[in-house]
Amino acid sequence: MQIARAIPPRFHVFACVMFLFLLVPAITRAQVSEVVTVTTKRTVDIGLMYNGDYIYFFGNIPDASADVIVRLTSTGDAPMTVTRKGKVAFFWMNVKQFTVTGLPLLYKIHSTRPIRQILDPALAKELGIGYDVLKEQMKLELVRGESQPDDRDIVFDGVLKLKQDAILYNIDEQRIEVTGGAIFKHYFRFPSAAKEGTYRAESYVIQNGKLVGKGVDEIVIRKSGIEAAFTRMAGEQPVLYGFVAVVVALGMGLLVGFIFKKGGGH
């Protein structure tokens, strides 16, 4: 107290303000805690009978009243060549061609409640959640044809529909279950259209519209066995592959001919 009285009042105020400035970020930074997550699988092997896979995710929630949003995306660039049809005289044909970049191969969002009730558009944009955020990321390059003002809308809506039909893009706002106020669980379906590569699942815990927890998981999809062998040969030894393809076909054709000769009889 003696010391405090010795320090001039203006410095008091300054010290208190400085303290608050340091404290506030310390409080908010400390609040984004690490979410511990577990998955039933880390690698998906594409074998002969592969028809997609399901992976279950479990994680902890620091507070029972918080919400969870999980975003699963493919990593790496996935440029697409997209064509748009138009009517010329009586016929429908491709009138435009675009190169589309900035959209991932796979994009899935799961949450505990409707997303609009959990966070505001600004935080959604920062975390990359929602189709409108994707649309903003999309880059369109016109390769052929005339540009029109509705190009961006038509292309995004068209691509979105194709992706949803292939179960590559999905937003499910009631997918995540919370048990005992402490653990969240859900599963992601990987369709067979999801290609080889690394996929990242980011689990965000949101409370009162602020990010309070984050966890990251990586899933790797790769081919194995015959699938891998064929893919490798087709890519790296195409001449051998082509030769094998023709010989197998010829062989099968003639073999069946021989079998039927014995069976039919003239």
In the complex, which residues of this chain contact another protein (CB under 8 A)? 46-52, 80-87, 90-94, 97, 105, 144, 154-155, 157-159, 161-162, 166, 192-193, 195, 223, 226-228, 230-231, 234-235, 238-239, 241-246, 248-250, 252-257, 260-261, 264, 266
Q: In the complex, what is the shortest distance from the CB of residue 158 to another protein, in angstroms, rounded to a whole number?
A: 2
User: Do 71 and 108 touch, CB atoms closer than 8 A?
Assistant: yes
Smallest gap, in angstroms, from Cβ of residue 113 to another protein? 32
Task: Closer to another protein by CB, 16 or 193: give it.
Answer: 193
Judge contact between 35 and 214, C-beta under 8 A: yes
Sign of CA dihedral 185, 203, 217, 27: negative
Give the chain's length: 266
C-beta neighbour count of 42 within 10 angstroms? 10
Q: Tell me how far, at minimum, the Cβ of 151 lies from another protein, in Å.
A: 10
**Among residues 47 and 114, whose Cβ is nearest to another protein?**
47
C-alpha distances in Å from residue 153, one per residue of 92, 116, 140, 150, 157: 20, 22, 11, 5, 6
Measured from the CB atom, the residue of 44 and 70 that comes closer to another protein is 44
> Which residue, 186 or 223, has its beta carbon nearer to another protein?
223
Find the shortest distance in angstroms from Cβ 234 to another protein: 5
Q: Which of 130, 35, 55, 147 is nearest to 95 (CA)?
A: 147
- Of the pair 131, 241, the CB lying nearest another protein is at 241
Which residue type, as a one-letter code, is found at position 57? F
Torsion, Cα of 15, 17, 23, 25 (10° steps): -130
Nearest-10 crossing angle of helices 225-236, 238-264: 120
Q: How far is the CB of 246 from another protein (least distance, A)?
A: 5
The Cα–Cα gap between 136 and 122 comes to 13
Contact 202, 71 (CB under 8 A): yes
CA distance 118 to 205: 10
CB of 202 to another protein, least distance (A): 24
41 or 161: CB nearest another protein:
161
User: Minimum Å distance from CB 109 to another protein?
Assistant: 20
State which residue, 7 or 154, has the beta carbon closest to another protein.
Answer: 154
Q: What is d(CA 234, CA 241) in angstroms, rounded to the nearest whole number?
A: 6
